[in-house]
Structure 1
Amino acid sequence: MGPAGHIPLTIGTAGHVDHGKTALIKALTGIDTDRLAEERERGLSIELGYAELALPDGRSLSVVDVPGHERFIRAMVAGATGFDMFILVVAADEGVMPQTREHLDVLAALEVRNGIVALTKCDRAGDEARELARDEVAGLLPSAPLVEVSALTGEGLDDLRTELVTLANQVEGERQSRADGSDEPAVLHVDRSFSLRGIGTVVTGTLWSGAVAAGTAVEILPSGIGARVRSVQVHNRDAEAGRAGQRVALNLGGVAARDIARGDAVTTPGAGLEPSYRLDVELATRGDADGRRVQVHHGTRAVPARVVALGDGLAQLRLEAPLVARDGDRFVLRGISPPRTIGGGRVLDPAPRRHGARSGAAARLTAIRERGLDAVIADEERRRAEANRQRAAAARAAPQEPREPLDHRAQLMLAVLKADGAEPRAAGTVAERVGIPSRDAVAALDRLVDHGLAVRVSPDTYYERGALEELRARAVELAQERGEITLPELRDALGTSRKYAQALLEHLDATKTTVRHGDRHILRRAGV
């Protein structure tokens, strides 16, 4: 909770270039959000700006001021992903313009529905121009409150603050009626990363869920770099912790600023989040997007992708670079040529298999849309467990073909494998130990595999089954601490060589216990 028990909320600007967004925020907060020298020289916002807005009821809002020029729409979308509500800024002397409409399209795609209209520059517009601008805005947002203001003279600013209190109370009421995300893993999509002398690496962004405090271990995705939070600031003031909905700055130890960029995500290690090159989504676009190459904006990252329509408003997005998404996350789609907003949607499955329209995936996604991903996965796990039980029962009931008993050579080789334990020697070396030709060793070892007494993990490496199961359990236990494990970590934990650690990790990947992402082997989610 924020001041006086209020939920932290973020409000963002929207509107056409040069309609007075930054001037309005300065008039409301006293802060010039144009921090770059180029922005001040040109009188044009290029990057996202930030401020704290104190309201008459004692609440404060985090403000994100976005650029209005069409060339900087990517920055606008990155900022808008953290909005709880918006101020649509329309100049009274110009009215609704192209970027006014596109910014509203972005907000609609992200389902940011609660907002207020500030009709700015009223000191420069006559009654007729004001009336025309009011009518145009009413055609776009008929139910949104509208306040006529002037950042120059101060006209209407108190009325705007009063309306913002009403709007914030409305949004807070809606947020309180659903989970606020405070008990979930921390997720912060980075919009700035920089280094300060004597302090080190700092990242900023809106905390989508969870909480972060000094001493908290975090993971940077998609790189997988680990770090630790040294300190937390909220609105340039030290804080014990940052909470869901707040704009925060994190001072991170153990990572360089050059290793983190806008679009990365700071998350709780082992929370199950992982980079994905595919998203199954619920999608709404202008026109048919099937097969189209588009730009997917999610969090503060934008990546190219190909749309594969699955029917009934469902699709798979095949990404050219990874995104870190969760089910329920919103995203924006923009065309690449021409570059304009064409729609958006909601993530249903953030790590699906590759499939097309004929795969039957639409039925599963319809169920996810109606019941949620967790419920569908739970059903899939129950069905899989029941199928396994039935297969096991059928196998027990079926007449068993007598197996040829193990000969003396195979028994000797099994004894050698048991003795070797976690570091079995190569097949040829086993043959030398037993005193048989190398060509006969593979056949004897394969008989052990047929009898379920050994497992072949590579062309030349066989483990006694019990030893491998113990290693597998140990590796999974280690991976569960962060949801993943690397070769050096496993090697050191087991006190073994790189050769055996690599063989074990390749076995875990092959048996779908883990999935490899670069140097990381990530525990698979159940049911995937």
Structure 2
Amino acid sequence: MSRDLVLGTAGHIDHGKSSLVYALTGTDPDRLSEEKRRGITIELGFARLDLPGDVSLGIVDVPGHERFVRQMIAGSSGIDFALLCIAADDGIMPQTLEHLAVLELLGVPRLVVALTKIDLVDDEWTSFMADEIETRLEQTPYAHAPVVSVSSKTGQGLDDLKGALAEMARATERIQAGSIPRLPVDRVFSVKGAGTVITGTLWSGKIALDDEIEVLPSGLRARVRGIQIHGTASKTALAGHRVALNLNALSTSEIRPGSFIAAPGAIIPTDRFDAELAFLGVPGKTRSLESGTRVRVAHGTRETFGRVLLIGQRESLACGERAFAQIRLEEPLPVSWRDHFVVRSYSPVHVIGGGTVLRAHPRRTTNISPEDLKLLEALCTQNESAVAKASFATQSLPVTASALAAASGLSVPAAQRELDALVAAGAAVQLEGAPRGSFYMAKSNLQRLRSAIENALLKFHAENPTAPGIAKDALRQRAVPAADAESFDALLADAVSAGAAITSNGEVAHPKAGAAARKAVELASETLAAALAAASGTPPTVSDLIAASGVEPALAHRALNILEKEGAVRRVSQEFFFDAAAFESLAGSACARLEQGPATAAELKEAMNTSRKYAIPLLEHFDSQGITRRDGDLRYLR
């Protein structure tokens, strides 16, 4: 099985990172003239290393100077394992430790140590330095990392290093998971005749030619019209590839290093996120991290300012401690559950901590409920089943699989799978009644909202004894105002199924309390329908009809509306309703006349055998309904 992973370098300035990459690959990662003139790496450099056993590594070479730690963090985002370079004549230095901290904070699982420049020291000193490095790494997650002595100048140890890298690659899994294409942009340039090209490490998913992508946080969209992997054209790029994409419809001013590429609509940038935060401390100082501290937040290839607000009653975080925190950002970032981030102090600038994103779109608060706390704890475990259960427990309203995915960070298929498991275990109830899919609720919450609907109906009927029902949205506002229309439809369908409500003619009523009002509407409908049927083609005006019937006006208008919906009567104008059979007869007579050719209003009045009082409203109604077409004084059959 082939292995295609990304290897990132790390280490103090002048410890031979770029020289070692060149010795291993034959590619000089320092491409800028200033880098060659000054002899230091300033921007990220890239190379490819093919190893025995069908192993291919895309190498990201990072700057070692303290002024370029931001670039180092950007280059280390998305790497699968690291090559930490420590010069034998210099040993562990400040940037060695800072880079090591960055790798740990970004969740890089493994590293290989290259003890470089051994041609400058003797064997005894080389052995001493290797022991010192191993001792230092015992305090980190990299306690068993191999330490390989090499010289880029003489070539000594290069084969051993390649072997160690190949072995590490075979034991390493991609640290980024998921099927959604996500790529942080680290370079942007223009190629004559091709247009804008970006490069980056594809964190997850795959990108194919002609795919549409979205640039975040701007929201601009483009299509992929070219893909290269290590300089070779390809039709697709997979997670783990170092890739260059040629994008249409975008200029180099519209996408910059630090931008983020994803599938359209897959990620919504956020100005805050909940996280598990580790505080490493400020170098040379013992002070704690106070809640509210302004910091620099690095995610992917982008860094922005923000504030750390500790969750709960916690006011500070001591060096070496971890806690839940909400990170409030000054610019939105496209973060997702399980993403890693690094925090640097505002001034002077040092790496002081970092952690893992838990919730990308939390409420803007640090006071959380016990249920929310359980969700954060579950998100830390990265157990999808535990996350789904904990997230579901926080939902007080009906939730769909897509909504649960957004709330928890799960993918939609995973959220659906876990909801189905909750239903099978009896911990959730599946509701129908909404056009965009099923809703789910805990049984206790469903019973509570069903009772709220029933109580709202009973109160409405007590206040309006003659009303047969209440409009659906008005009931929603009374009973469950926090629910949107679709979730309320699902709740109402459940209430109807349980016998707590009935629906008729667009209104909702309680099965018992609205019986008398419904009977009154039925009697009024029968009375008015009979009166219109008796009047046939010469009905009275609405006001005269109501006055003659003896029906209370509000009840009469309700009854007429119901009769119209049922098709028993036809509203022709604000003044006239016609019995449906009489209307059809009049319309038939008019159409029969127009089949012989165009006719005036007077001619159609005669054809219908009615008076102008009724003919004009009828003809105007025929026009509005598309039965006839008027042109001057004549009407035509459409």
Q: Can you give the 5+ residue segments of structure 1 that lack an aligned partner in the other structure?
A: 407-447, 449-528
Aligned-partner Cα distance in 2 for 1:147–1:243: 31
Contact in 2 for aligned 1:308/1:357 (Cα 8 Å):
no
For the residue of structure 1 that corresponds to 2:7, the secondary structure is strand
In structure 2, the gaps of 5 or more residues are 138-142, 282-287, 313-321, 400-440, 468-557, 559-638
Matched residue SS, 1:303: strand
Tell me the amino acid that sits aligned with residue 305 of structure 1: G
Q: Report the Cα offset of residue 125 of structure 1.
A: 1.2
CA distance in 1, matches of 2:124, 2:93: 18
Q: 1:348 aligns with which of 336, 358, 367?
A: 358
Partner of 1:143: 144
> Would you say the 8 A contact 1:16–1:68 is kept in 2?
yes
Change (3 A) 1:385 1:244: farther
Distance in 2 between the 1:213 and 1:385 partners?
44
Aligned to 2:67: 71
> Among 319, 330, 335, which residue is 2:340 paired with?
330
- Can you list the C-alpha shifts for 1:385-410, whole angstroms capped at 9, x where unaligned? 6654342233345562344989xxxx
Distance 1:48 1:36, change over 3 A: same
Q: Distance between the aligned counterparts of 2:43 and 2:450, measured in 1? A: 58
What CA distance in whole angstroms lies between the structure 2 residues aligned with 1:15 and 1:398?
Answer: 72
1:120 and 2:130 equivalent? no
The superposition leaves residues 244-295 of structure 1 with CA deviations (integer Å, 9 ceiling, x where unpaired) of 1111111001111110111111110122x11111010011113532221111
In 1, the alpha carbon distance for the partners of 2:157 and 2:447 equals: 66
Corresponding residue SS for 1:102? helix
The aligned runs of 1:59-98 (5 Å cut-off) are 59-98=55-94
* Residue 457 (structure 1) aligns with: none
Shift of 1:238: 0.4
Structure 2 contact 74–302 (Cα < 8 Å) conserved: yes
| Structure 1 residues 314 and 51: CA distance shift in structure 2, 3 A | same
Secondary structure of the corresponding residue to residue 9 of structure 1? strand
Task: Provide the residue aligned with 2:216 in structure 1.
Answer: 221
Q: Supply the AA of the counterpart residue of 1:161.
A: K
Q: Is the 8 A contact 1:327 1:350 kept in 2?
A: yes
**What do residues 49-79 of structure 1 show as CA deviations (whole Å, max 9, x unaligned)?**
0010010223211100000000000000001
Secondary structure, in 3 states, of the residue corresponding to 2:373? Answer: helix
Alpha-carbon distance between aligned partners in 1 of 2:254 and 2:184, rounded to the nearest angstrom: 15
CA drift at 1:126: 1.9
* Contact 2:375/2:391 (8 A) holds in 1: no
The answer to whether residue 154 in structure 2 is matched with residue 187 in structure 1 is: no
Deviates further, 288-297 or 163-172: 288-297
Which aligned segments of 4 or more residues in structure 1 are displaced greater than 6 angstroms? none
Residue number in structure 1 paired with 2:454? 393
Cα distance in 1 for residues equivalent to 2:163 and 2:46: 21
DSSP-derived class of the 1:325 partner:
coil
- Superposed displacement of residue 338, structure 1: 2.5
- In 2, the alpha carbon distance for the partners of 1:386 and 1:343 equals 46
Residue of structure 1 equivalent to 2:171: 170
Distance 1:128 1:275 in 2: 54
Any idea what SS the aligned residue of 1:208 has?
A: coil
Aligned residues: 397
Check whether the contact 2:3–2:56 (CA below 8 A) recurs between aligned residues: no
> Which of the numbers 336, 349, 358 marks the counterpart of 1:339?
349
Q: State the alpha-carbon separation in 2 of the partners of residues 41 and 405 from structure 1.
A: 91
What is the CA deviation profile of residues 350-393 of structure 1, one whole-angstrom value per residue up to 9, with x for unaligned ones? 11111024666534423433455555444423256665434223
The whole-number CA distance in structure 2 between the counterparts of 1:280 and 1:128 is 50
The Cα RMSD (Å) is 2.3
2:32 counterpart of 1:36: yes
Residues 115-514 of structure 1 mapped to structure 2, 5 A cutoff: 115-141=111-137, 142-172=143-173, 175=174, 180-181=177-178, 184-271=179-266, 273-287=267-281, 288-289=288-289, 290-311=291-312, 313-357=323-367, 361-370=372-381, 371-372=383-384, 373-379=387-393, 380=395, 381=399, 382-383=441-442, 387-398=448-459, 400-403=461-464
The alpha-carbon distance between structure 1 residues 331 and 228, as it changes in their structure 2 partners (threshold 3 A), is same
> What is the rounded CA distance, in whole Å, between the counterparts of 2:373 and 2:343 in structure 1?
20
Considering only CA atoms, is the larger Rg found in Structure 1 or Structure 2? 2
Q: Closer, same or farther in 2 for the Cα pair 1:252/1:389, shift >3 Å?
A: farther
**More contact order relative to length (CA 8 Å, sep ≥ 6):** 1
Q: SS where residue 154 of structure 2 aligns?
A: coil
Q: Hey, what's the Cα distance between the residues in 1 that align with 2:37 and 2:450?
A: 71
Q: Please list the CA deviations of residues 104-138 of structure 1 after superposition, one character each: whole Å capped at 9, or x if unmatched.
A: 00001111121111111111112343233212211
User: Which deviations, in whole Å up to 9, do the C-alpha atoms of 1:69-96 show, x marking residues without a partner?
Assistant: 0000000000111110011101111111
Q: Work out whether residues 227 and 255 of structure 1, in 8 Å CA contact, stay in contact via their aligned partners in 2.
A: yes
1:223–1:405 Cα change, 3 Å? farther
1:6 aligns with 2:17: no
Q: Secondary structure in 1 aligned to 2:131?
A: helix
Q: Report the counterpart of residue 438 of structure 2 in structure 1.
A: none
Structure 1 equivalent of residue 515 of structure 2: none
Q: Residue 46 of structure 1 aligns to a residue in which SS?
A: coil
Change (3 A) 1:51 1:135: same
The verdict on how the C-alpha distance between 1:363 and 1:51 changes in structure 2, with shifts beyond 3 A counting, is same
Q: CA deviation at 1:139?
A: 1.8
2:176–2:204 CA contact under 8 A, matched in 1: no
Aligned letter for 1:154?
G
Distance across 2 between alignment mates of 1:363 and 1:180 = 23
Post-superposition Cα deviations, 1:18-42, rounded to whole Å, max 9, x if no partner, equal 0000000000000000011100110
Contact 1:314/1:362 (8 A) holds in 2:
no
Superposed displacement of residue 179, structure 1: 8.6
SS of structure 1 residue aligned to 2:161: helix
1:222/1:323 contact within 8 Å kept: yes
Q: How far, CA to CA, are the matches of 2:307 and 2:176 in structure 1?
A: 33
Partners of 2:280 and 2:80 in 1: CA distance = 25
User: What do residues 403-434 of structure 1 show as CA deviations (whole Å, max 9, x unaligned)?
Assistant: 4989xxxxxxxxxxxxxxxxxxxxxxxxxxxx
**How many Å separate the matches in 2 of 1:375 and 1:208?**
27
CA distance in 1, matches of 2:133, 2:149: 12
Secondary structure at 1:227 match in 2: strand
Q: Which amino acid aligns with 2:121?
A: A
Aligned to 1:162, the other structure's residue is in SS state helix
Q: In 2, distance between residues paired with 1:401 and 1:340?
A: 68
Counterpart of 1:123, as a letter, is D
